[in-house]
Amino acid sequence: MTRVAIVTGASGGIGREVAQRLAKGGLAVLVHYSGNKARADEAVAQIAEAGGTASAFQADIAVETQMTALFDEVERRYGGVDVVVNTAGIMLLSPLADLNLDDLDRMHRTNIRGTFVVSQLAARRVRQGGAIINFSTTVTKLAVPGYTAYAASKGAVDAMTLILAKEMRGRDVTVNAVAPGPTATPLYFNGKPQEVIDAAAKASPLERLGVPADIAEVVAFLAGPARWING
């Protein structure tokens, strides 16, 4: 039986790399996207060219009826779902005192509500032996100024992940969160001066930024062989 994965936010950045890596490992992948159909179709085409199986589906991650339709469709196309990777997220930076509260609401809707909606559906539908993988951030621990609202939204993801892992007792489904550090994606580079990027790269003992492929390898590990890593 072919294992099946849903990857949210998979049309670009880390999500796209994750989708390609899981497909390379033999999983059929549903590429979720919110608005950019061309990029999603390109991701599917790249997976197909490499010999993998994938298709795309558009949905608003925070709308439960749309995401329910996505889960319905993946079951119709591929027979079920084994791995759900929730990479979809937005990052809007500002000191707390200056934060536009509309930006807070936008991050809450995508990063918290969206993760909750996807996790709820995954908890109900992922098959035995499966994995639910959310995305957090190292900023929840590093406490970098300007990241207040973003870190708060990802702190909520951490809490959801830890508790859901315990609520899945007896199902043989692991639940974990991946917390990337600075990773070379458009989301990270947006609005950052070069000196900030250089300092982040230098802070790592490897003296470079992470790249999406680094993160995708961790996801592939959690999605497959890492059965004892849970919560």
Per the prediction, the chain carries an average pLDDT of 94
Separation of CA 72 from chain center: 20
Q: How many residues does the chain have?
A: 231
pLDDT of 192 reads 76
Domain enclosing residue 43, as ranges = 4-183+212-223
**Stronger pLDDT, 192 or 160, i.e. the higher one:** 160
Q: What is the mean pLDDT of residues 88-107?
A: 95
CB 36 within 8 A of CB 59: no
**Per the structure block, which two tokens stand in for 93?**
């930076």
Q: What is the mean pLDDT of residues 49-62?
A: 97
Q: Is residue 67 part of a domain?
A: yes
Q: For residue 182, name the pLDDT band (cuts at 50, 70, 90).
A: confident
Instruction: Tell me the sheet residues that pair with 227.
Output: none
Q: Domain of 41: which CATH number?
A: 3.40.50.720
Q: Is residue 190 part of a domain?
A: no
| Per-residue pLDDT tens digits for 138-180 | 999 989 899 999 999 999 999 999 999 999 999 999 999 999 9
**What string of DSSP letters covers 114-138?**
IHHHHHHHHHHHPPTT-EEEEE--T
**Stronger pLDDT, 209 or 24, i.e. the higher one:** 24
Residue 122 CB neighbours (<10 A): 26
**Which of 65, 61, 70 is CA-nearest to residue 90?**
61
Q: Is residue 199 part of a domain?
A: no
Number of domains present in the structure of the chain: 1
Q: Is residue 201 part of a domain?
A: no
Q: Is residue 10 part of a domain?
A: yes
Q: Is residue 193 part of a domain?
A: no
Q: Is residue 166 part of a domain?
A: yes
Q: For residue 1, name the pLDDT band (cuts at 50, 70, 90).
A: confident
Q: Does residue 210 sit in helix, strand or coil?
A: strand
**Reported pTM:** 0.93
CB-count exposure of residue 209 (10 Å: 0-12, 13-18, 19+): buried
pLDDT of 207 reads 83
Q: Annotated catalytic sites, by residue?
A: 150
Q: Is residue 198 part of a domain?
A: no
CB-count exposure of residue 135 (10 Å: 0-12, 13-18, 19+): buried
pLDDT of 80 reads 98
Compute φ and ψ for 125, nearest 5 degrees: -120, -20
**Per the structure block, which two tokens stand in for 16?**
């796209």
CB 54 within 8 A of CB 44: yes
Helices (H), 79-207: 101-107, 115-125, 139-142, 148-167, 186-189, 194-203
Least confident of 105-109, 166-170, 181-185: 181-185
